[in-house]
Amino acid sequence: MAMASIVTVGNEILSGYVVNTNTAYLAGKLLETGVCVVSEHTAGDEEEAIIKALRLAADEADLIIVTGGLGPTEDDLTREALARFLETELELDKKLLQKIEGIFRGRGISMSANNKRQAFIPKGATAIANIIGTAAGIRAEWKGKIIFVMPGVPYEMKLMFEKSILPEIKKIQDKKGGVKVIRKINCFGEGESKIAEMLGDLGSRERNPQINYTVDCGTVTIHITTTGRDRKEAEELADKDEKNITKRLGKLIFSKGDLSLEEVVGELLVQKGKTIATAESCTGGLLAKMITDAAGASRYFLQGWVTYSNSAKIKELGVEADIIERNGAISEETAAAMAKGARQKSGADYTIAITGIAGPEGGSEQKPVGLVFISVDSEGGTDTKKFVFRGDRASIRKRAAKTALNLLRLKLQID
């Protein structure tokens, strides 16, 4: 099985000014391919620091994936550090220089003298084409190790990796033997500890496959990681665990793979030929945004209201003032009235209403911060549920919106 180490270059990463999404992306892609990521290193914009990171990576892995430091400015030092690490010198790649010059001509601007340094490649290495930028990648070999260097700009890096580097890595992995298969199962409705309890013996650290969890505002993703002598064996082991987990968790599972909750709900609405509208208070339109984040949402999403004030609930949704006066804006009765009013005004088959206290202020002993009422209305009736979410304002809002989507998912599966 191929072993990889990821090296990220940039002071902005070390300072925390920029979140290192490149490493997360690369680690995920490598894992999907069956390559084991054994280490990750971050170096600042200094030659010695980059060389040290390359040495550490080379001691630990046979594939070294580097991002960052290939720009035209004085602090872009990855190519110089790589040349020193390889104990060679930089050479001008005339074809690469012509390509960079052509990019600037195509943009109708003159090329800065600094950009010429992007045409230098360590002797013996080869340039990797950058389809959308001036910073070419570099492929080099050192003592049986293969080094891939890519620009740090995420969209340039991803395109280069997927088009030019990943195919070679897959071939390397196939030759190495030993295959790792990753499956993802996405759940909503119970916490990580409860799901782990339900899976019981499947979570043992001594078995193959290995079961791991990640959590994001209520979504629990189960990762099944299987190692086999070949792909057939690995797939069979993964299939067995996937079926077992599906049986144990049932309706808690909303998708497998990368399909989001909003995409699942959208597919169900399309399959049933139904429409949806939203009425939101504390979530401020977040639910409508999540629904319309899914491509093709125009097929089922009609409209949404953000009725933050009591007067807006009354004027826009037709909620009776007496309901709010008797029960308060944060109540089961108000949530249900919002959902009914939204369905009457929009003509949608389903409506979801959310009202609550996202905080950090505004709570009381009777109605604490995090208290949320969610109502789903349809021809079959109105279902309203009470929740108390923990966390900061952003997480409470996101959790409320995702919970609303999940309630609709469960209702659609029944109707």
For residues 40 and 236, what is the distance between their CA atoms, to the nearest angstrom?
Answer: 31
Close Cβ partners of 339 (under 8 Å, ≥ 6 residues apart): 279, 351, 352, 353, 375, 376, 377, 382, 384
pLDDT of amino acid 220: 96
pLDDT of amino acid 360: 94
Whether the pLDDT of residue 179 is over 80: the answer is no
- The architecture (CATH level 2) of 3-176 comes to 3-Layer(aba) Sandwich (3.40)
For residues 406 and 261, what is the distance between their CA atoms, to the nearest angstrom?
Answer: 7
Cα distances from 397 to residues 142, 219, 253, 376, 409, in angstroms, run 51, 14, 22, 17, 19
Tell me: cis bond preceding 368? Omega within 30 of 0 counts. Answer: no
pLDDT of amino acid 367: 95
Count Cβ neighbours within 10 Å for each residue of 33-42 and write b for 16 or more, e otherwise.
bbbbbebbbb
Domain 261-414: what homologous superfamily? CinA-like (3.90.950.20)
Q: What does the angle CA 232 – CA 235 – CA 241 come to, to the nearest 5 degrees?
A: 145
**Residue among 363, 382, 307, 317 nearest 344 (CA):** 317
For residues 354 and 45, what is the distance between their CA atoms, to the nearest angstrom?
Answer: 48
pLDDT of amino acid 155: 95
Beta bridge partners of 238: none
For residues 299 and 270, what is the distance between their CA atoms, to the nearest angstrom?
Answer: 7
**CATH for the stretch 179-256:** 3.30.70.2860
- The whole-chain average pLDDT of the chain stands at 95
SS (H, E, C) 374-401: EEEEECCEEEEEEEECCCCHHHHHHHHH
pLDDT of amino acid 231: 78
Mean pLDDT, range 293-307, rounded to an integer: 97
For residues 162 and 176, what is the distance between their CA atoms, to the nearest angstrom?
Answer: 20
Q: Residue 74 corresponds to which tokens in the numbers above?
A: 């004085």
pLDDT of amino acid 228: 84
For residues 135 and 72, what is the distance between their CA atoms, to the nearest angstrom?
Answer: 8
**Residue among 239, 259, 257, 237 nearest 247 (CA):** 239
For residues 298 and 276, what is the distance between their CA atoms, to the nearest angstrom?
Answer: 10
Sign of the torsion formed by the C-alpha atoms of 377, 378, 381 and 385: negative
Close Cβ partners of 53 (under 8 Å, ≥ 6 residues apart): 7, 9, 41, 42, 43
Contact 54, 82 (CB under 8 A): yes
Assign 175 a pLDDT band (cuts: 50, 70, 90). confident
**Residue among 310, 264, 288, 314 nearest 397 (CA):** 288
pLDDT in tens, 122-156: 999 999 999 999 999 999 999 999 999 999 999 99
Mean pLDDT, range 73-77, rounded to an integer: 92
Q: Residue 304 corresponds to which tokens in the numbers above?
A: 């949404």
pLDDT of amino acid 82: 98
Most confident of 81-85, 114-118, 169-173: 81-85
Contact 140, 125 (CB under 8 A): yes
Q: Residue 284 corresponds to which tokens in the numbers above?
A: 């401020």
Q: What are the extents of the domains in the chain?
A: 3-176, 179-256, 261-414
Whether the pLDDT of residue 178 is over 80: the answer is no
Close Cβ partners of 294 (under 8 Å, ≥ 6 residues apart): 260, 262, 263, 265, 266
pLDDT in tens, 350-383: 999 999 999 999 999 999 999 999 999 999 999 9
Mean pLDDT, range 338-347, rounded to an integer: 98
Mean pLDDT, range 316-333, rounded to an integer: 98
The burial class, CB within 10 Å (0-12 / 13-18 / 19+), for 230 is exposed
Assign 177 a pLDDT band (cuts: 50, 70, 90). low
pLDDT in tens, 83-112: 999 999 999 999 999 999 998 998 899 898
Whether the pLDDT of residue 293 is over 70: the answer is yes
pLDDT of amino acid 4: 97
pLDDT in tens, 13-63: 999 999 999 999 999 899 888 888 999 999 999 999 999 999 999 999 999
**Number of other CB atoms surrounding residue 16 within 10 Å:** 8
Q: What does the angle CA 337 – CA 341 – CA 344 come to, to the nearest 5 degrees?
A: 140
pLDDT of amino acid 173: 85
